[in-house]
Each structure stands twice: as structure tokens, then as C-alpha cells.
Amino acid sequence: MCHQTVGLVQGKLEAAGIATTAISLLPWITRRVGPPRALVVPYPLGYPLGAPGDPPLQRSILRAALALLPRRDLPVLEEMRPEPDATLSEGRANRPTR
């Protein structure tokens, strides 16, 4: 789903009393839309949880995004720094070979 749509849906859900969070790959769009809570990750489009086959990294991203839910100092836009041993190179995730 596109970043703008996610932010707009988040706003409607929050207005109904449902806390939301998002994982963003495009911080400039996320800042413009202004969702209540979002975690910016340093990975390319299509890889919001980092490289495939890295459950510890994926869990850490999900935990960081979910940790934003109790926050009330809205809007919250946090940036997650890349893991030093993450299997990413030059801004691109290692894609599975066919």
C-alpha cells in the first residue's frame, strides 16, 4: 500500500480511537502526510523488514514499530538505524536468486 494511503488511513483509525503505527521506507512522503506514528527504516522499496531470511532483524523492526503504539506525543516519526550485520549492501537488499 502506498505511503500516502497508509498515513491517511492511520489518521481515520486514530480519530476512531484506534492506535496505529506504520513502517516507512520513504521518509519525505511520510513527513508530508504526517501519520500519527511511523518508524522509518533504511531499506529499499519492497523490503520494509530488511533482507529476506533475517528473522532477528525482522523481529527488531516489528518490535520498534510496535513500541511506538503507547506514545501520545503525536506525531511520532522515528528513524531506525541499520543493523551492522544486516545483509544489505549499497542500499539494496540481497534478493533471493532464482
Give the residue extent of every domain in the chain: 3-82
Confidence of residue 98 (pLDDT cuts 50, 70, 90): very low
pLDDT higher than threshold 60 for residue 51 = yes
Q: What is the pLDDT of residues 67-92, one digit of tens each?
A: 999 999 999 999 998 766 555 544 44
pTM value is 0.81
Q: How many CB atoms lie within 10 A of CB 93?
A: 19
* CA atoms of 21 and 39, how far apart (whole Å): 8
Terminal-residue alpha carbon distance, the chain = 26
Q: What is the pLDDT of residues 10-47, one digit of tens each?
A: 999 999 999 999 999 999 999 999 999 999 999 999 99
What is the predicted pLDDT for the residue at 93?
46
Mean pLDDT of the chain: 86
Q: Are 75 and 37 in contact (CB under 8 A)?
A: yes
